[in-house]
Structure 1
Amino acid sequence: MTFWTYRRRDNLVGYLFVAPALLGSLAFVLIPLGMVGWYSLNEWNVLGGTFEFIGGENYKQLLADEKLRDSLVATAWFAAGLVVLNLSLALLLAVLLNLKLRGTTLFRTLFFSPVLVSLVAWTLVWQLMLQPEGSVNGLLGVFGVDGPNWLRGETTAMVSVIVVQVIKNVGLNMVLFLAALQGVPAPLYEAAKIDGAGAWRRFRSITIPLISPTILLTSIITIVGSLQVFAQIAVLTQGGPGTSTTVLIYYLYQQAFQFHHFGYGATISVLLFVIVAALTLLQWQMRRKWVLHES
């Protein structure tokens, strides 16, 4: 009996096709995750050249770290503000652009173009605009409004970072929503109009259910992205004033690369991974309650 049967050759071809993806996941995802978990159990002093196993001490420090609590609060505020504002604005823009009015192609380009701009360049420009003598306060001055020092107030600094990030990435979610809206069958709206349904009722009963899979996708992408924001914080506020904008990933950076506590930094990264995984899993489980055809 021949060893290389047709079925085995067919299976081998399949394994060869998926091998690059599996090897990439192993080399760049699974092994680094395992190494981070190992580092979190050690105290690694790069400058001193020491690497000492300390077990769960870093996790005990994590539970008692008051600055970490402040960081979690800042992260929650940033994520909530970003997700609500981004998704709401993206859906509103998509609905308006879906009306097929004159000039919509130009506006699509304008709203999406920030997505293509370099993140650091975008943030540096906004840093200049948000200075006390910057163009934002200059524009407010035209209307007789004395603008604040946006990046030095605890509330205004957080608002500024959120708005800068929303304007940067709202175009991506807008395009996803627009594609979903264009896939909604027009006869459904016509039938609803005949039955006397108003614009809001049609939006609530037809549009939202039919684009709910896209809403799920954009919410997962936006929430995960909000927990990984770093460049905007580093350029605009450096976590200040105080710790008002020190989100979790920036606190991780401070501990690992400024204070050289690499073991504790790895522990914070484990916490971040758990939070991202838990939120993603929660959204995935809740999809059965509101995403169409998922019940």
Structure 2
Amino acid sequence: MAVPATDKNSARFLRVPRLALKHREAVEAWLFVSPILTGFLIFFLGPLIAVFFYSMTEWNLLTQQAAFVGMENYADALSRNPDFWHVVRNSLIFAAGLVPLNMALALTLALALSRPFFGVVFFRAVFFAPVVTSAVAWAIVWKFLLQNEAGAVNQILAVVGIDGPNWLREPDWAMAAVIVTRVIKMVGLNMILYIAALQTIPRDYEEAARLEGASNWQIFRMVIWPLLAPTTLIIMVITTIGSFKVFDHIYLMTGGGPENGTLVLAFYIYEQGFKFFNVGYASALAMIMFVVVMVLTIVQLMLRRKDMQ
């Protein structure tokens, strides 16, 4: 009696070892993740290893002469170069000013624009437009607006009787001016993230709180703000990392001045690598910045996890 073809296929499938099926599933899984894994190895891990290797050398980009010096570049930055700690201080001041101001303004705009009303799409587009505007054009325009007497900002202040400072040429004002212009440039992105998070909060929670007699502030503090915590953490981490990576605004608006008042770590790395051609030292600075940003990110994640417990 002939065995049907379907029964033969079923019997053949049953005879396949289970271990072979597991191997097949593992191979398929690795094939699916291979594109992103390849990109991670080529564009992140590979360059990171290369930069760490360069940081162990004294390599002059102009003369193309290199010598292995071990941890000498790190020791020079951390203990023998006074400019390094001044740059770190400027970077921390920039981050401390930009991150809370950006997040507070983004949340305020999101609360105002999260509910539908006439023209809400227009206002969202207006506040998001600087995000997609060329950073070069943005910085150049603000550089003209913040000029001493010819700048539009000081001319507007003069109308109300205020004598505005030379924003980008006075050490006490240059850092504040760069922070504010950067906040205006990037606040739209965080605003959109907050709007998306607010629209996922059920309105039933707010209505129940109002029935209990809660005020608008109590509703925000006890209902909305806790539910925004995951989004707030993501925004805080992204904004903090971006604050340490800022380069274009510093390069185009102040050049690190006046009196190195806006010389932040990313711009200092550029100067050491491509102005003074000290690739080894610049690589060591880049590794230090990587560690600083990673530590700050881990601290933020740990604090968030502690608050959730």
Same fold by TM-score greater than 0.5: yes
After TM superposition, give the deviation of residue 43 of structure 1 in Å: 0.2
Distance in 1 between the 2:178 and 2:281 partners? Answer: 26
Aligned residue in 2 for 1:80: 96
Whichever residue aligns with residue 185 of structure 1, its letter is P
Whichever residue aligns with residue 270 of structure 2, its letter is Y
2:130 to 99, 114, 122: 114
Unpaired segments ≥5 residues, structure 1 = none
Does residue 25 of the first structure (1) align with residue 52 of the second (2)? no
Aligned residue in 2 for 1:140: 157
Whichever residue aligns with residue 9 of structure 1, its letter is R
Whichever residue aligns with residue 176 of structure 1, its letter is L
Distance in 2 between the 1:67 and 1:11 partners? Answer: 52
1:8 to 23, 33, 41: 23
After TM superposition, give the deviation of residue 134 of structure 1 in Å: 1.4
Q: What SS does structure 1 have at the residue aligned with 2:233?
A: helix
Aligned residue in 2 for 1:103: 119
Distance in 2 between the 1:94 and 1:264 partners? Answer: 43
Unpaired segments ≥5 residues, structure 2 = 1-14
1:254-279 Cα shifts (integer Å, max 9, x gaps):
11111111111011001000001101
Does residue 41 of the first structure (1) align with residue 56 of the second (2)? yes
Q: What SS does structure 1 have at the residue aligned with 2:306?
A: helix
Structure-2-length-normalised TM-score: 0.91
1:220-269 Cα shifts (integer Å, max 9, x gaps):
00000000000000000000001110001111111111111111101100
Q: Indicate the structure (1 or 2) with the bigger Cα radius of gyration.
A: 2
Whichever residue aligns with residue 130 of structure 1, its letter is L
Q: What SS does structure 2 have at the residue aligned with 1:44?
A: strand
Dislocated runs of 4+, deviation >6 Å:
1-4
Distance in 2 between the 1:289 and 1:98 partners? Answer: 29
Whichever residue aligns with residue 27 of structure 1, its letter is I
Does residue 260 of the first structure (1) align with residue 277 of the second (2)? yes
Which residues in structure 2 correspond to 1:1-295 (within 5 Å)? 5-63=20-78, 64-132=80-148, 133-290=150-307, 294-295=308-309
CA RMSD of aligned residues (A): 1.5
Whichever residue aligns with residue 151 of structure 1, its letter is L
After TM superposition, give the deviation of residue 189 of structure 1 in Å: 1.1
Aligned residue in 1 for 2:8: none
1:31-68 Cα shifts (integer Å, max 9, x gaps):
11111111111100122221101112111111221101
Distance in 2 between the 1:102 and 1:145 partners? Answer: 36
After TM superposition, give the deviation of residue 30 of structure 1 in Å: 0.9
Structure-1-length-normalised TM-score: 0.95
Whichever residue aligns with residue 77 of structure 1, its letter is I
After TM superposition, give the deviation of residue 14 of structure 1 in Å: 1.6
- Greater shift after overlay, 16-25 or 208-217? 16-25
Q: What SS does structure 1 have at the residue aligned with 2:257?
A: coil
Q: What SS does structure 1 have at the residue aligned with 2:283?
A: helix
After TM superposition, give the deviation of residue 10 of structure 1 in Å: 2.6
- Greater shift after overlay, 6-15 or 80-89? 6-15
Aligned length: 292
Whichever residue aligns with residue 202 of structure 2, its letter is P
